[in-house]
Amino acid sequence: MPATTAATVVLTARALLLDMDGTLVDSGPAVERVWRAWAAKQGLDGDRVLEVVHGRQGFASMAILLPDRPMEVNHAENAEMLARETADTEGVVPIGGAPALLASLTGLPHALVTSADDALARARMGAAGLPVPAVAVTAEHVTRSKPDPEGFLLGAELLGIDPRECIVFEDSEAGTRAGLAAGMRVIGVGPATTAYGATVTVTDLTQIQVSTNDSGTLTVTITP
């Protein structure tokens, strides 16, 4: 389906699971500053590094980019990278439609599912002026990074909702693959997600409206 749908699409669910970077928050400039500096230090191409890190936890990205390096080194360096990213929130802003979407979800089953740790998630959501959902699955809560479905399955479990009744909002290939692997439908944010296999693709969150009924069913309306 194209980035801007030709007709209104309606999906129903019992819960929504929301990625953060690139989905709710535009943190691109901050991510680029930190990871290009890391790439230069490692003698790696910055563009290649940015392609790999999107949607993944840092240690998993490092394992792809530096396959011969011990994982304990990756985990240690990932902690340093998270601290640098947490301290750098310049230019972090909400994705279009994110404030209204989160406001509409007040009191409804939803969760944040992000590869960031808790400190980074709160720093970026705060910088963008967005509330952190009551249920938040961050890096501390999982042992495997996206594209593994662990984070989304945990989000569904914490909400008490069957994974098949959840809709994921994602922008990255790793995240889209994780949502689909969890047996969930995926609303892709950004035109690239069409190629990743997203169920429906939108330009941004201004195309999304969420309502509910007395039975607790969420209706997600996607407009052109």
Task: Tell me the residue length of the chain.
Answer: 224
**Total Cβ atoms within 10 A of residue 47:** 10
Q: Model's pTM, two decimal places?
A: 0.90
Please give the pLDDT value at position 7.
86
146, 53 Cβ separation under 8 angstroms: no
Please give the pLDDT value at position 2.
43
Among residues 19, 26, 88, 171, the one annotated as catalytic is 19
Q: pLDDT, tens digit, for every residue of 124-141?
A: 999 999 999 999 999 999
Please give the pLDDT value at position 5.
60
* Strand-strand pairing, 185-189 and 166-170: parallel
Amino acid at 71: M
Q: Which residues of the chain have pLDDT under 50?
A: 1-3
In the residue annotation, 21 being an active-site residue is answered as yes
Among residues 21, 26, 148, 171, the one annotated as catalytic is 21
In the residue annotation, 88 being an active-site residue is answered as no
Please give the pLDDT value at position 72.
95
> Distance of alpha carbon 57 from its chain centroid, rounded?
11
Please give the pLDDT value at position 13.
98
